[in-house]
Amino acid sequence: MTAIAGKRLTLEEYFKYDDGTDSQYELVAVELVAIPPESPKNVQISLFLLINFLKFVPVNRLSNKVEIVVAGSRATTRIPDFVVLTDELATALEGATRSTITLDMPPPALVVEVVSPGKANEDRDYRYKRSEYAARGIAEYWIVDPQTNVVTVLILVDGFYEETRFTGNSASASTIFPELQLTVEQVLKAGESNT
C-alpha cells in the first residue's frame, strides 16, 4: 500500500473522494493510501471462505467489499478481504449508498485478512489491524497467511484478542461458527481441488 503524496483527507472528504478510476483506497491516519490489486491466490482464498460460509450464513450477511471505519484518534478505514456481518449490522447497511460500516453501527461478527507478501503487509495485518479491530469490538478476526501456512484465529476477550494458531490438517476453530470445519490446508489450497 502506498500513500498518495500530499493527500490528507478528513473522513467526510474520504467518503466523497473520487479520482475517476477504479482504484481502491483506505484512509490511514488521515492519509489516502492506495490498495494494490489482490493476488490471484488471495482472491481464491477469500472466495473459498465465502462459498463455505454460505453453507451457514445468509448471503446478505457476507461481504468481500465492505469498508470499516475503525476506532482511533485519527480517521481510519479498512477494507478486509472477507467479512461476516451480524443480523443487526446487515439491517443497518440496508439501503445504504456506500458499503461502509461507520462507528455508529454495530461491529461485524467476523473479519478475515489474507496476508500479502512483505513486511509492511505483515505488520498491517498482524499488528495494526489487530489493535484496530479489537478497539472496534469485532468478536473474531482471522489472519490467513499463505507465506507461513498458518491461520491465526483471534477471539475478543475483555477488549483484547486471544490467539490460536492453526497449521496443516488442524481445523481452524471459530467460536461464532463452530459448525464450520475447514482445515488450514483446505483454506490455503483454495481452488486447487474440489474441497
Least confident window among 27-31, 55-59, 97-101: 27-31
- DSSP strand pairing (24-28 vs 31-35): antiparallel
Name the residue with higher pLDDT: 32 or 139.
Answer: 139
Model-level pTM?
Answer: 0.90
- Judged against a pLDDT cut of 50, whether residue 195 lies above it is answered with no
Cell numbers standing for residue 83: 467479512
pLDDT of residue 44: 94
Could you say which DSSP state residue 42 is in? H
Task: Report the C-alpha gap between 86 and 106 in whole angstroms.
Answer: 8
Name the residue with higher pLDDT: 38 or 166.
Answer: 166
Give me the DSSP letters along 60-108: GGEESS-EEEPPSSS--EE--SEEE--HHHHHHHTT-SS-EE-TTSPPP
